Amino acid sequence: MDGARAAARRCTEELARGELRGPLHGVPFGAKDIFYSAGLRTEAGSRVLAGFVPAYDATAVARLKAAGAILLGKLHTTEFATFDPAPTHNPWNLEHTPGGSSSGSAAAVGARMAAAALGSQTAGSTLRPASYCGVAALKPTYGRVSAYGVIPVAWTQDHVGFMARSVEDLALLLQVTAGHDPADPNSSTERVPDYTGALTRRRAPRLGVLHQGFLDRADAEVARVTNDALARLERSGASVEAVKLPAHFETVYAACWTTVLVEAAAVHADLYRRHADLYRPRIREMVELGTLVPGDLYLRALRVRGRVRREVLPLLERVDALVTPTTPTPAPAGLAATGDPVFQAPWTALGLPTVTVPCGHSGSGLPLGLQLIARPFAEASLLATAGWCEDVLGRAPAPAL
Amino acid sequence: MDGARAAARRCTEELARGELRGPLHGVPFGAKDIFYSAGLRTEAGSRVLAGFVPAYDATAVARLKAAGAILLGKLHTTEFATFDPAPTHNPWNLEHTPGGSSSGSAAAVGARMAAAALGSQTAGSTLRPASYCGVAALKPTYGRVSAYGVIPVAWTQDHVGFMARSVEDLALLLQVTAGHDPADPNSSTERVPDYTGALTRRRAPRLGVLHQGFLDRADAEVARVTNDALARLERSGASVEAVKLPAHFETVYAACWTTVLVEAAAVHADLYRRHADLYRPRIREMVELGTLVPGDLYLRALRVRGRVRREVLPLLERVDALVTPTTPTPAPAGLAATGDPVFQAPWTALGLPTVTVPCGHSGSGLPLGLQLIARPFAEASLLATAGWCEDVLGRAPAPAL
């Protein structure tokens, strides 16, 4: 915090002299504790990394700082960004989970402790907690934002994610962090368009609603709030049609988990051999299961992922975004688990960009979200669509703390 | 053969009219029987594919045809391009193996049945048989020549290879087949330089000889012939220095075989489940072993490959080519096995371009080769170096048949 205070003082002085570091001059943000931060402990919620202080910033952290943003501090994560919960509570109801694995990121933005936060998503770790905590979030296309300096979960599905109070802020965060990074072998060389400019071109979008496997799988309350939100969007001019997924779409779940288990086992093999006793039960189970999956099954999982992706891409050409509830239920009660990533996992496995915007509340006052899914590298149009929806649905109010 | 005769007649007529299809107008070539060939059986040396006739040509076959070359026919391969031998003999001594897996390709060019042949190399399947049969061969950089329509062995190591009587012919073959192919996801977009033109810029090269693991592992006869050849090259002006490999270089062998086993198991999983009884013992063993390797071990093998590659690349900057004997022994006696790919496997696993040129004969008259290894996508300079060596060492005479 002392470093952040000093940085804030410098920003104030610069501003007084008419100097601006960049579009995020002085904006306070937090980073999930799997992002390397020079001089600050980075422990990934695990006793295995207790006291580890990296010498450099993750690329996403470095680019936010270069744009003028101030790193307030590190935010709690489930252990190694998987399933053993963080000590974080949901700011809307302290008896409920904030979600995971980016628990601290969602809670910090939801509770207005930071204007923005970096999270990550390997299955459902950014959009799910964001929705549970009533904030907007973006998971860009795979490779769009460098994952260099982010402790990996499963590198073919690891995405940097953003949380903020508005779609406009998400666009700003993406604008300053997107772009090729030679330090990340999976970083894309795709051109970076004008994301913030695209927001000024909001127009009533064509939305494709997914019923089977999504709206049909949500609880009654989520289904009601989602349908209400869709009706409001339609009344405001959006075209809303039902879209049917390919017959074998559900195979992507098995492909996603096989991939995550095997890659997580490979990531942790050395540390786990030396420090198995320090791992908590769920990450432990993942690593041990992962070492049992034969290599050819892993390769077949990658092929299934590729095949489902080829089948899904044409559906995305016909609409501005596919739409689902962001989660099948509001944030579950209790802190022993972090909720179900089932509505995010397919899009993460397919590497597609997704956004969640708040869309209402459950009867008990917990926030709910609408998930929008778009074509690869179509973040500009996705954010414009999300911004239009946000205009109709309204931003979530702050929780009463 | 009737199709080839008709094509030859058309080429003759066109030539009479002054028409030239391309730089290989009328040149007869053969293709290893894992290359798809429209209307011609493609059986990969296996009963599993008996009678299979593809509807289209592999990209390499199509590009050779487009350059005017005439596909004479398909050439024997070991079963699925691995280790169960083809019914092919070595044209220099019918009691000896021609090597594998591109057995027919090497024997056909060695015996002057075809001017050129397509082979493939996943461990040592092009350069080893070429050397055993006294011909020149090129395995380009991974991704340089499209593998579309080539039945895979292990796709992260599968390379199309070329065999011919001279380095100049190898350059011609590469020139007309290199270049991006959107149908092959691993095809490189690297610019295609003027390979044939580069041959005119031959000059005495800097050669780095690998002793440990290579020259030291060759039998006495191979070592003597190799050292004689190196002495002749040095007397003609080449600089010849000993180069030491990185300490952990040998780990690349385990990485190579782990990768091949797992990917081969993934390739064959479906066919093997239905037709296990039709598989011969060695490919059978590979598929069964491959299904036992855990996925995280496979991923670690890929990491080892990447790490050794990063350590080897700087060595390649200091010389025009690294040099080894192409094989540790001349073609072994007997047809039950196809010889040892140990001198090729590392460079195949690392995706580096390699050439073999004939460099002498064993006491019993079997041909031996010199293997040259270069930087990724440095085929132009590699071929110029190989051409210079060929000028000094002489082309191999035809075997007495």
- A290 interface with B at CB cutoff 8 Å: yes
The answer to whether the beta carbons of residues A157 and A255 sit under 8 Å apart is: no
Q: Which residues of A touch B292 (CB under 8 A)?
A: 294
Using CA atoms, how far apart are residues A334 and B51, in angstroms rounded to an integer? 63
| Probe site for chain A from B299, B303, B305 (most A CB atoms < 10 A) | B299
- Smallest CA–CA distance, residue A250 to chain B, in Å, is 20
- pLDDT tens for A349-385 read 999 999 999 999 999 999 999 999 999 999 999 999 9
Of the candidates B251, B276, B284, B263, which has an alpha carbon nearest to the alpha carbon of residue B350?
B251
Q: Which residues of B touch A299 (CB under 8 A)?
A: 262-263, 266, 298
- For residue B286, what is the nearest residue in chain A, using CA coordinates? A296
For residue A46, indicate whether it is catalytic: no
In total, chain A counts a number of residues equal to 401
Beta bridge partners of A96: A333
B82's tokens: 């691995």
Q: How does the average pLDDT of chain A come out, rounded?
A: 96
Residue from the list A258, A269, A296 with its beta carbon closest to the beta carbon of B262 = A296
- B297 interface with A at CB cutoff 8 Å: yes
Using CA atoms, how far apart are residues A299 and A142, in angstroms rounded to an integer? 19
Q: For the sheet containing A239-243, what is the strand order?
A: A70-75, A28-32, A116-121, A159-164, A136-139, A354-361, A367-373, A321-325, A206-210, A239-243
> Which residues of B are designated catalytic?
32, 101, 125
- For residue A295, what is the nearest residue in chain B, using CA coordinates? B295
- A87 interface with B at CB cutoff 8 Å: no
Going by their DSSP bridges, the two strands A239-243 and B136-139 should be labelled as unpaired
| Probe site for chain A from B296, B298, B305 (most A CB atoms < 10 A) | B296
Interface of A with B in 220-239 (CB under 8 A): none
- Smallest CA–CA distance, residue B269 to chain A, in Å, is 8
Handedness of CA B256, B261, B264, B266 (dihedral sign): negative
Q: For a pLDDT cut of 70, what percent of chain B falls above it?
A: 100
Going by their DSSP bridges, the two strands B70-75 and B28-32 should be labelled as parallel
Using CA atoms, how far apart are residues B231 and B221, in angstroms rounded to an integer? 15
- A296 interface with B at CB cutoff 8 Å: yes
Using CA atoms, how far apart are residues A186 and B170, in angstroms rounded to an integer? 34
Going by their DSSP bridges, the two strands A321-325 and A206-210 should be labelled as parallel
What is the CATH code of the structural domain delimited by A21-250+299-393?
3.90.1300.10
For residue A279, the 8-state DSSP code is S
Using CA atoms, how far apart are residues A241 and A250, in angstroms rounded to an integer? 21
For residue B178, the 8-state DSSP code is B
In total, chain B counts a number of residues equal to 401
- pLDDT tens for A134-150 read 999 999 999 999 999 99
Q: Does residue A364 have a cis bond before it (omega within 30 degrees)? A: no
Beta bridge partners of B356: B137, B371
Look-up of token digits 């988990």: A257
Rounded to 5 degrees, φ, ψ at A154 are: -150, 105
Q: How many CB pairs under 8 A join A and B?
A: 64
Residue B226 parent element (H or E): helix B220-235
- For residue A298, what is the nearest residue in chain B, using CA coordinates? B295
A218, with CB counted inside 10 A (0-12, 13-18, 19+), is buried
Rounded to 5 degrees, φ, ψ at B180 are: -60, 140
Q: Do A298 and B295 touch (CB under 8 A)?
A: yes
- Smallest CA–CA distance, residue A303 to chain B, in Å, is 10
Flag whether pLDDT at A401 surpasses 80.
no
- pLDDT at B78 (0 to 100): 98
A389's tokens: 């929806």
The C-alpha torsion from B164 through B188 and A186 to B350, rounded to 10°, is: 10
The C-alpha torsion from A247 through A249 and A251 to A255, rounded to 10°, is: 150
Beta bridge partners of A145: A178
Using CA atoms, how far apart are residues B208 and B196, in angstroms rounded to an integer? 24
Query: What is the secondary structure of A90-113 as a DSSP string?
Result: BTTBTTB---SSSHHHHHHHHTTS
Of the candidates A172, A346, A174, A188, which has an alpha carbon nearest to the alpha carbon of residue A255?
A346
- Average the pLDDT over each of A22-31, A118-127, B389-398 and give the range with the smallest value: B389-398
Q: Which residues of chain B have pLDDT under 50?
A: none
Using CA atoms, how far apart are residues B83 and B336, in angstroms rounded to an integer? 10
CA atoms lying within 13 Å on the CB side of residue B196: 12
Q: Do B269 and A300 touch (CB under 8 A)?
A: yes
Using CA atoms, how far apart are residues B325 and A153, in angstroms rounded to an integer? 43
Query: What is the secondary structure of A133-183 as a DSSP string?
Result: TT-EEEE--TTSB--TTBPPS-TTT-EEEEEESSHHHHHHHHHHHBS--TT
Using CA atoms, how far apart are residues A385 and A393, in angstroms rounded to an integer? 12
Q: Which residues of B touch A297 (CB under 8 A)?
A: 295
Q: Which residues of A touch B265 (CB under 8 A)?
A: 294-296
The answer to whether the beta carbons of residues A234 and A209 sit under 8 Å apart is: no
Kindly report the CATH class assigned to B2-250+299-393.
alpha beta
Using CA atoms, how far apart are residues B230 and B52, in angstroms rounded to an integer? 46
Beta bridge partners of B117: B30, B163
Using CA atoms, how far apart are residues B161 and B77, in angstroms rounded to an integer? 13
The C-alpha torsion from B362 through B364 and B366 to B370, rounded to 10°, is: 0
Q: A268 to each of A105, A156, A274, B75, B296, how far by Cα in Å?
A: 24, 15, 10, 46, 10
- A299 interface with B at CB cutoff 8 Å: yes
Residue from the list B292, B298, B300 with its beta carbon closest to the beta carbon of A298 = B298
Q: For a pLDDT cut of 70, what percent of chain A falls above it?
A: 100
- B314 interface with A at CB cutoff 8 Å: no
Average pLDDT over residues A337-342: 97
The C-alpha torsion from A332 through A347 and B297 to B211, rounded to 10°, is: -150
Beta bridge partners of B240: B207
- A94 interface with B at CB cutoff 8 Å: no
B201's tokens: 């810029």
For residue A239, indicate whether it is catalytic: no
Using CA atoms, how far apart are residues B304 and B300, in angstroms rounded to an integer? 6
A4, with CB counted inside 10 A (0-12, 13-18, 19+), is middle
Look-up of token digits 């891409």: A313
Regarding an ipTM greater than 0.90, the answer is: no
- A295 interface with B at CB cutoff 8 Å: yes
- A158 interface with B at CB cutoff 8 Å: no
Query: What is the secondary structure of A178-202 as a DSSP string?
Result: BS--TTSTT--------HHHHGGG-
- pLDDT at A400 (0 to 100): 80
Flag whether pLDDT at A322 surpasses 80.
yes
Going by their DSSP bridges, the two strands B136-139 and B354-361 should be labelled as antiparallel
- pLDDT tens for B231-282 read 999 999 999 999 999 989 999 999 999 999 999 999 999 999 999 999 999 9
Per the confidence metrics, is the pTM higher than 0.90?
Answer: no
Rounded to 5 degrees, φ, ψ at A241 are: -125, 155
- Smallest CA–CA distance, residue B176 to chain A, in Å, is 29
Average pLDDT over residues A201-228: 97
Average pLDDT over residues A204-216: 97
Q: Do A297 and B295 touch (CB under 8 A)?
A: yes
- Smallest CA–CA distance, residue B265 to chain A, in Å, is 6
Residue from the list A291, A296, A303 with its beta carbon closest to the beta carbon of B296 = A291
- pLDDT tens for A179-189 read 999 999 999 99
Q: Which residues of A touch B298 (CB under 8 A)?
A: 295, 298-299
The catalytically annotated residue of A37, A46, A101, A188 is A101
A203's tokens: 């127009």
Residues 6 or more apart in contact with residue A309 via CB below 8 angstroms: A350, A351
Residue ranges matching CATH 3.90.1300.10 in chain B = 2-250+299-393
- A293 interface with B at CB cutoff 8 Å: yes
Using CA atoms, how far apart are residues B382 and B377, in angstroms rounded to an integer? 9
